[in-house]
Structure 1
Amino acid sequence: MIEKVNPSHPDKIADRIAGAIVDLAYRLHENPKIAVEVLIGHEYGHIIIETNVDFDKEDIAMIFERIAGGKKETRCDIRIYPQDTHLAKNQSKEFRCGDNGIFKGMPLTDEQKELSKIAREIYNKYPFDGKYILDETRLIICQSNADTKILKQEYPYAEVNPLGDWTGGTDVDTGATNRKLGSDMADSVTGGGLHGKDLSKADVSVNIYAFLKAQETGKEIKLCCAIGDREIDGKPYDEIVRIAKEYIDSVGGFEKFAEWGLF
């Protein structure tokens, strides 16, 4: 059983904004330290950034406007704070684990891969807020701004918009960073969140590493770490970061990664 939400779901809009800000951080700084939280909904947004990067708030506002929909009436409060000096020392001379964490990477099932395919197919036709569930007996499609009758014809075996046509998005719902980790990670488990953070954060790099190793080996991968660790799973932490960076680059950056998560 698995649920996917698409990139126009309010929570994913928040993830995408956070990811775009991290992308900007990497363009401005060779080794940025950043954590971003985004809350958006009902023509208002709030962004809190902790970082060692010297941002221009206008650049952040432009990211928000582009991803949130470009409505002139949508307002955004942006707060930028320096990273804690004590935490900064942890990474001042070498890559060391940036946080405590527990992680479980799981191989994807055929069911999970199939729903990811279906979600993308529907989103290509209807690029609006949507969510989808698949288990052994049911496919449930909830797609906003679409003709329910037409969707039922396209997916006759599915339950489509059980309450009828609907309009979604941030006009009628709120979104927050890292609130759809089940959609992002399937059966994999994390004690943190994937989005809005640089790769020194174990929540990002070790989650990606554990997921990739699970796909490669076909086995469950369990890992844990403490802040300051130099090695995880028998590998130097900078190698974990390198593997995660290669994956992020392969999907087009942190904003693109935020659209669908790990699958």
Structure 2
Amino acid sequence: MRQSYLFTSESVSEGHPDKVADQISDAIVDLFLSKDPEARVACETLTTTNLVVLAGEIRGRGIMDEAGNWAPGIEQEIEQVVRATVKKIGYEQEGFHWEKLRFENNLHPQSAHIAQGVDASGNKDEGAGDQGIMFGFACDETPDLMPATLDYSHKILEKLAADRHSGAAPFLEPDAKSQVTLRFENGKPVAATAIVVSTQHKKGYDEGEHEAELKAYVRDAIASVIPASLLSDETVYHINPTGSFEIGGPDGDSGLTGRKIIVDTYGGAAPHGGGAFSGKDPTKVDRSAAYVARYLAKNIVAAGLATRCTIQLSYAIGVSEPLSLYVDTHGTGTVGDDRLEQAIGKMERLGRLTPRGIRTALGLNQPIYASTAAYGHFGRKAEGGLFPWEKTDLGDELKALVA
């Protein structure tokens, strides 16, 4: 593993067109799980100029029957959720407005052939909703046990959004992107070499005193997030480097669910599996297995068993137990990686890492997903039933199993 290098991660705000799509898709997941905790949802969203389109496969009591007939009132609820999500983000622009946008709902019943392979029946346990590989990761670069480059990228944009919503930065609009480059020495971040922030703004904030005000504000926001020890006169800032950013969001570029998967996970510091998270109910192992892999990796690092940990799981559609479990502590482990794999296999509370075992252990059959769809699924606070995979409550058990 290299000890001295530059590394970069990026993030996008809640108003980025792809993130608008992710948040709508996850708001639909939450709506359906609130009606049926066993609902099956695969909801894709397209956003563009004053248009939101839903597509995908669903199934659930009180939602849609096998013939594709909607339960009374549910279509109206879906549209209300879509518009409320866009309004909460803050889009009231001529090119994208929560109240004026056109809405299309093309959701339809889940394939019967998928259902027969996934559903539990007789002696058959519930199977995985698809084949695939999923990864979890943790490292000790930040208190949240996340890669520092991504953690700071997220937090810069969260700061801008909070100030926009509170009125502290009324010149900001919802769309924004950030990027942080850090220099690492001996595997630890020692300096921020370059920081990029592009933020949508009100008319006129691309010139003169208003431009200076915006750039000064962004510099202060960056300084409130990134430790002072990492910033210096040598740090290069690129703030709205194109000059103007008035047209943004879905009016400036189309958005699609699942197109920001590296932003959602580890900013490129760790592998990513084959599928996105947003818009999927927790029977889809793209989502639930990635969550439990993060849960395990984070607990291994939090317990002091490693300073860096990657975990891979793999599944076959319709098969309940994982095909493989792989642990790599990148030479930082206090015990062998094979012993950690054996310990995880003995943890009964995780239900053999089956889809139902994961969902039960982490309490995933709840409407908790809208909050995941911006600023990362990982490195968040586990509180109020949200982000349960971020808890660090496995340490004692892991230590006992590897002793």
Specify if TM > 0.5. yes
What amino acid maps onto 1:84 in structure 2?
S
Find the counterpart in structure 2 of residue 191 from structure 1: 274
Measure, in 1, the Cα distance between the counterparts of 2:376 and 2:155. Answer: 13
2:223 pairs with 1:133: no
Find the counterpart in structure 2 of residue 10 from structure 1: 17
1:1-263 matches, within 5 Å, as 1-53=8-60, 54=64, 55=70, 56-69=74-87, 70-89=97-116, 90-93=118-121, 94-107=125-138, 108-126=146-164, 128-136=174-182, 137-145=193-201, 147=205, 148-154=211-217, 155=219, 158-167=237-246, 168-186=248-266, 187-188=269-270, 189-218=272-301, 219-232=309-322, 233=325, 234=345, 235-237=352-354, 238-246=356-364, 253-263=368-378
Task: Determine if contact 1:105/1:222 at 8 Å carries over to the other structure.
Answer: yes
- Cα deviation for residue 36 of structure 1 reads 0.3
Structure 1, residues 6-33: CA drift from partner, whole Å, max 9, x if none? 1111111101110011101111113111
Aligned length, in residue pairs: 260
Task: Determine if contact 2:197/2:240 at 8 Å carries over to the other structure.
Answer: yes
Query: Which blocks of at least 5 consecutive residues in structure 1 are unaligned?
Result: none
- Cα deviation for residue 244 of structure 1 reads 4.6
What amino acid maps onto 1:77 in structure 2?
E
Measure, in 1, the Cα distance between the counterparts of 2:35 and 2:372. Answer: 19
Task: Determine if contact 1:199/1:244 at 8 Å carries over to the other structure.
Answer: no
- Cα deviation for residue 243 of structure 1 reads 4.1
- Relative distance call for 1:133 and 1:243 in structure 2 (3 A) is farther
Find the counterpart in structure 1 of residue 226 from structure 2: none
Measure, in 2, the Cα distance between the counterparts of 1:13 and 1:52. Answer: 24
Higher relative contact order (CA 8 A, sep 6+): 1
Structural RMSD (CA): 2.1
Measure, in 1, the Cα distance between the counterparts of 2:369 and 2:129. Answer: 18
Measure, in 1, the Cα distance between the counterparts of 2:30 and 2:78. Answer: 11
Task: Determine if contact 1:96/1:229 at 8 Å carries over to the other structure.
Answer: yes
What amino acid maps onto 1:81 in structure 2?
H
- Relative distance call for 1:83 and 1:242 in structure 2 (3 A) is same
- Relative distance call for 1:77 and 1:192 in structure 2 (3 A) is same
- Cα deviation for residue 46 of structure 1 reads 1.2
What amino acid maps onto 2:244 in structure 1?
D
Measure, in 1, the Cα distance between the counterparts of 2:375 and 2:151. Answer: 12
Task: Determine if contact 1:50/1:82 at 8 Å carries over to the other structure.
Answer: yes
- Among the aligned pairs, what percent are the same residue? 27
Measure, in 1, the Cα distance between the counterparts of 2:250 and 2:154. Answer: 23
Task: Determine if contact 2:158/2:375 at 8 Å carries over to the other structure.
Answer: no
**What SS does structure 2 have at the residue aligned with 1:35?**
strand
Task: Determine if contact 1:101/1:191 at 8 Å carries over to the other structure.
Answer: yes
Return the TM-score normalized by structure 2.
0.60
- Relative distance call for 1:223 and 1:71 in structure 2 (3 A) is closer
